[in-house]
Amino acid sequence: MSDLIKDNWFVILIAVIIIAFVGYFIFDSNKDNVSAKSSDGKDVLATLADTDITADEMYEDYTPFDGNLLYNMYRNAIVSQSVTPTKEMEDEAKSLENTIRSRVSSQNSEVYKDAIEAELASYGYDSYDKLYDYCLMTVEQKSMNKKYVTAHFDELKDSMKDSKARIVRVIKLEVADPENLTDEEKKKQENIDNAIDSGTFADAATAFSDDATTAAKDGLLGYMDSTSSSSSLGVDQSLIDQALELKEGATSDWIEVQDQSSGVVSLYKVHVDTTDLEKIFNSDDDTVQDAFLYSILNATPGLEVTVLEDSAKKLDIKFEDKAVQEKIENYMDQLKGDAE
């Protein structure tokens, strides 16, 4: 035996090192693995004080409150089978997915990822890997809503007639002290006034506005109505109030507006392009179209459910569990404001 060890000591040493390495690997990869447990044939989620908390128990406890989740699952299946995604839709979904994923990687990634996964599960998607599916569904549902609203625009536009809906453009003039303009600032202000008088507001904005983002879009700030808030638009409330006071085609005097983040006060000219609902709905700008669509959906409680039901009629739907059907219908009634 000792001769065998002497003759093969090197091989044995290597074998011991390998076994130690593999042993550590096994220990390390096992240490966070939970032990399976069952109780009366049911899987156990956790134990406490010798009492088992089973998967079945948790499921049964939660199902009285699962109307929202069941509705989301129902909606996902209807939307994905009612809309054929175009290349543009896929690109938009991909962009949305990338935005969320980049936030995950820039923040405390594991915690944030868990939070996203939990959110996705409440929307009816069972893993973080389904993030794209969720994003695509939202884009598809927007397209479905748009198609329905387009087909029913004449009846739906009534809900917006008192909303002060409008498309707004702005020109920003940065000044050191709004109360005491320098000669240079006065000159620029005069040039802007002359450009508006002699041409279009859009051209004047492109040529003179100190706000690069809106200037690049002919001064377009976007869609606005009486429900718009400074947090949703990212501009000071005084600018919104001024824009909502103007008639179609009108331009405001110079107003002082405080920047939301820096607190710096600048001078603004505000212009209302149009208050015509059809023109707004058919705007060339996607963000205006989307914002107006959401406003119409918000102005008619349950409209999104109506759109979904309209699409559902074209699919073969069977509820094997009648309680599920009842819960989904109750939930949709609540969204439409028809609940008892």
Quick one: 34 or 212, whose CB is closer to another protein? 34
CB of residue 331 to another protein, shortest distance in Å:
9
79-138 binders of another protein (CB under 8 A): 80-81, 110-111, 114, 117-122, 124-127
Size of the site for another protein (CB under 8 A): 71
Instruction: Please list every residue from 18 through 57 that binds another protein, using CB under 8 A.
Output: 19, 22, 25-26, 29-30, 32-37, 41-49, 51, 53, 55-57
The least CB distance from residue 273 to another protein, in Å, is 42
Among 159, 289, 306, 325, binds another protein (CB under 8 A): 325
The answer to whether residues 226 and 241 touch, using CB atoms and an 8 Å cutoff, is no
- The nearer residue to another protein, 65 or 179, going by C-beta atoms, is 65
16 binds another protein (CB under 8 A): no
The DSSP annotation for 268-310 comes to EEEEEEE--HHHHHT-S-HHHHHHHHHHHHHHSTTHHHHHHHH
Q: What is the largest CA-CA distance in the chain?
A: 107
**Closer residue to another protein (CB): 9 or 21:** 21
In this complex, which beta carbon is closest to another protein, that of residue 176 or of residue 323? 323
Q: Give the separation between CA 170 and CA 236, rounded to whole angstroms.
A: 13
3-state secondary structure 31-58: CCCCCCCEECCEEEEEEECCEEEEHHHH
Site for another protein in 211-270 (CB under 8 A): none
Question: Residue 187 and residue 181: Cα distance in Å, rounded?
Answer: 9
- Give min distance, CB of 211 to another protein, in A: 41
Shortest Å, Cβ 129 to another protein: 12
Q: Sign of the C-alpha dihedral, residues 101, 107, 113, 119?
A: negative
Q: Between residues 26 and 264, which has the closer beta carbon with respect to another protein? A: 26
The DSSP line for 132-199 is HHHHHHHHHHHHHHHHHHHHTHHHHGGGGTTTT-EEEEEEEE--S-TTS--HHHHHHHHHHHHHHHHS
Residues 299-318 that bind another protein (CB under 8 A): 312, 315-318
Least Å distance, CB 307 to another protein, is 15
Could you tell me if 265 and 135 are in contact, meaning their C-beta atoms sit under 8 angstroms apart?
Answer: no
Contacts 24+ apart (CB under 8 A), 19-22: none
Q: Residue 75 or 172: which CB sits closer to another protein?
A: 75
Give me the least distance between CB of 72 and another protein, in Å please.
Answer: 9
Residue 300 beta carbon to another protein: minimum distance, rounded to whole angstroms: 21
